[in-house]
C-alpha cells in the first residue's frame, strides 16, 4: 500500500514550501489545543508539532504526516500570530533595529517507523523601521496569520536587513530537514 504525504497544517506558506520541493501532498488541518510557554520556545514548538502530528496520524495511520509549529522568540517572550493590526504594528516597532530568533518544531510520522522530531532555529535581523514603512508594509502584507506579524517571503526587503539559518524555517517549515528525512527514508 502506497502512503500519501499529508501536511498537518493550514499554513499557505508551508504548502508553498512543499510545492516548491515538487512534492504532492494533501492538507489535513489538525484540531488540537496548542501550548504557549514564554520561557520555553523550543518546548513550545516541539510539543505543538507532536500534538498536530499525532492528531492527524490518528485519522491517517497509513500515510506520511508532516506537522510543524513556528514561533518567534524576542525579548524573553514567545510571539505567535498577532491578534490585531495594532498588535502587528507594535511587533514591528519592537523588532526595529534588533534581532529575533525563529524556532520551528517539526514532527514526521510514517508507517512502520517511529515518529521523528526535529527542531530548527534561525535569526532575523531587522532594519530600523519607521512608522511610514510599517504602514506601507501592512498595505502589502497581511500580518495577522504569521508568527511575529511579518512574512520573510513577501516584501521583507522593507523591514529585514538579513538572516542567519534556514530561510524556509523563517517561513514556517525548514525544507532542509524535510529533504534530509525524505532522502534518508527513501521517499524521494
Mean pLDDT confidence for 91-111: 97
> 110: domain CATH number?
3.90.950.10
State pTM to two decimals: 0.93
Helix or strand run (H / E) with residue 108: strand 99-109
Task: Write down the catalytic residue from 31, 38, 69, 145.
Answer: 69
Q: Which domain holds residue 145?
A: 5-184
Q: How far apart are CA 157 and CA 37, in angstroms?
A: 30
Nearest CA to 36 out of 82, 8, 81, 78 is that of: 78
User: Residue 172's Cα: distance from chain center in Å?
Assistant: 2
Banded pLDDT at 188 (limits 50, 70, 90):
low
Residue 54 is among the residues annotated as catalytic for this protein: no
Number of domains in the chain: 1
| Three-state secondary-structure class, residue 129 | coil
Under the banding of pLDDT at 50, 70 and 90, the label for residue 3 is confident
> What pLDDT score does 1 carry?
55
Amino acid at each position: 500500500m502506497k502512503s500519501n504525504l499529508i501536511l498537518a497544517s493550514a499554513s499557505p506558506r508551508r504548502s508553498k514550501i512543499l510545492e516548491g520541493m515538487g512534492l504532492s501532498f494533501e492538507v489535513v488541518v489538525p484540531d488540537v489545543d496548542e501550548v504557549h510557554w514564554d520561557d520555553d520556545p523550543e518546548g513550545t514548538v516541539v510539543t505543538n508539532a507532536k500534538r498536530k502530528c499525532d492528531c492527524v496520524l490518528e485519522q491517517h495511520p497509513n500515510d506520511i504526516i508532516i506537522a510543524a509549529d513556528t514561533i518567534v522568540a524576542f525579548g524573553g517572550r514567545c510571539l505567535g500570530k498577532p491578534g490585531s493590526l495594532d498588535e502587528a504594528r507594535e511587533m514591528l516597532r519592537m523588532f526595529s533595529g534588533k534581532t529575533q530568533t525563529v524556532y520551528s518544531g517539526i514532527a514526521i510520522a510514517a508507517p512502520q517507523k517511529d515518529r521523528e522530531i526535529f527542531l530548527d532555529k534561525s535569526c532575523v535581523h531587522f532594519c530600523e523601521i519607521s512608522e511610514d514603512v510599517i504602514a506601507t508594509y501592512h498595505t502589502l502584507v497581511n500580518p495577522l496569520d504569521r508568527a511575529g506579524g511579518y512574512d520573510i517571503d513577501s516584501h521583507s526587503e522593507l523591514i529585514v536587513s538579513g538572516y542567519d539559518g534556514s530561510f524556509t524555517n523563517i517561513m514556517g517549515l525548514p525544507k532542509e530537514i524535510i529533504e534530509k528525512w525524505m532522502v534518508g527514508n527513501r521517499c524521494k
